[in-house]
Amino acid sequence: MNQEEMLKKVNPTYLSAKGVLSLLSKTGNSDIMCFYNDLDKEALGKSSTLEPAIIRSWRISLEARYNFWTAITEETDCKIIVDLPCGYLPQCLKAARLNKKYYGLDLPIVTEEVSRIAFKHLDGRQKNLVQYHGVDATNYDSLRNALKDAQGKICIITDGFLGYFNLHDLKAICENIYRLLREFGGHWYTSDSQFPELMELTHAVITGDESEEISVAISLGASRIADSNLSDHLFMGGTLEERRKFMEECGFSVKSFRYSDKLRVIPSLKENPALMEKLLSAYNGIEEWVLTAKETPAAEKTPDIPFAQEFSSAGGVLSIRISGRLDTITAPEFLQKVEELRAKNSFTEIKFDAANLSYISYAGVRALQILQESCSSFRISSASGEVRKILTENFPAALEQ
């Protein structure tokens, strides 16, 4: 497998981002159509198994969220927009027209493609305002390096993101965003505070069906793409009170506002003004957040161990020792090296020494699952602390006691 294929394997959630652009292309928005027309659509598939009513409700929900993002970009007094995750959407065009600096951050597999698309639709002046960077949001250094030339307050906007992460990765992401806000100042807007509730409410207004059918369907679909059960994640399955408490414990001051405060219109419903008014009125019950970093002493951060890989092969056994983080940035490189060794040596057993593994994210877990599926025997040794907890949850039979 080449590097692109490795990126896709450890981060399959990029497909959901493509699906979002595909659905929004039906709204007729000219910026969205520009990006959709240039998108590589091969991985999208031909059809959806969801019922048409669910697809329509989901599209309208996405359209509302897209307009929410636009409203925040217009209203914030920050001159720097940090779009995390940026997906394949054309938010950079809006930010550049407002003469605001735009940083689109996402998985490397996403930013490589969307940056090529974006720069086809930006003029010379606008290109100087826009940057895209592949990051791992659990890795502070990757986020900070992406913003290395940023100066001034930042506005971080997050949508459809937090529900993908287990508590382990979610804590790391919030810690990293907290550190960025403490350094740069500014604020963090998120529409993820009531993500499932927003979907359910939209579906209820559009179809009259007040069941949880849509959130269940979307959660199952996203879980299938991510190859992970998202329903037990805090921002998919928890309560609003639990989510708020979590954010406050992470060091944020949380200010709420009504979702409808930022939405003036839903363009695809213009021909049905009564329905649009009903939906906007219903959105009065959805709470969204703007977060700022509390003025509390920053916790001492232990420097990450530099990433390093050691391999040895003998008697059909591949022995691996990883130092540092195994995450979105390092996992593809790790798998690439294993593939190179497999081409030269025959092995049916893999021994993975986790003694120096300081952090493992969802992408790192995916990489180890790929290894496990590729051999008849897979053993993990010497794991400790939080890393051991994650490995125990995902590889109970492979972990040596």
Looking at per-residue confidence, does 53 or 149 come out higher?
Answer: 149
What are the tens digits of pLDDT across the range 366-384? 999 999 999 999 999 999 9
Asked if residue 301 is part of any domain, the answer here is no
Confidence of residue 137 (pLDDT cuts 50, 70, 90): very high
Note down the domain range covering 324: 308-394
The answer to whether residues 278 and 368 belong to one domain is: no
Q: What are the Cα distances from residue 175, in Å, to 138, 144, 252, 300, 309?
A: 9, 13, 10, 12, 27
Segment 341-356 mean pLDDT: 92
At 48 the pLDDT is: 61
User: The CATH number of the domain where 162 resides is what?
Assistant: 3.40.50.150
At 335 the pLDDT is: 93
Share of the chain above pLDDT 90, in %: 66
Say whether pLDDT at 127 is over 70. yes
What are the tens digits of pLDDT across the range 308-337? 999 999 999 999 999 999 999 999 999 999
At 53 the pLDDT is: 82
Q: What mean pLDDT is reported for the chain?
A: 89
Confidence of residue 217 (pLDDT cuts 50, 70, 90): low
Segment 338-343 mean pLDDT: 90
What are the tens digits of pLDDT across the range 101-121? 999 999 999 999 999 999 999
Q: Which residue, of 293, 328, 351, is where some domain finishes?
A: 293
C-alpha to C-alpha distance for 166 and 127, rounded to whole angstroms: 36
Confidence of residue 21 (pLDDT cuts 50, 70, 90): very high
The answer to whether residues 332 and 225 belong to one domain is: no
Q: How many domains is the chain built from? A: 2
User: The CATH number of the domain where 342 resides is what?
Assistant: 3.30.750.24
The CB density around residue 391, as the number of other CB atoms within 10 Å, is: 22
C-alpha to C-alpha distance for 329 and 117, rounded to whole angstroms: 22
Looking at per-residue confidence, does 41 or 110 come out higher?
Answer: 110
Residue 28: left (phi > 0), alpha (psi -120 to 50), or beta? left
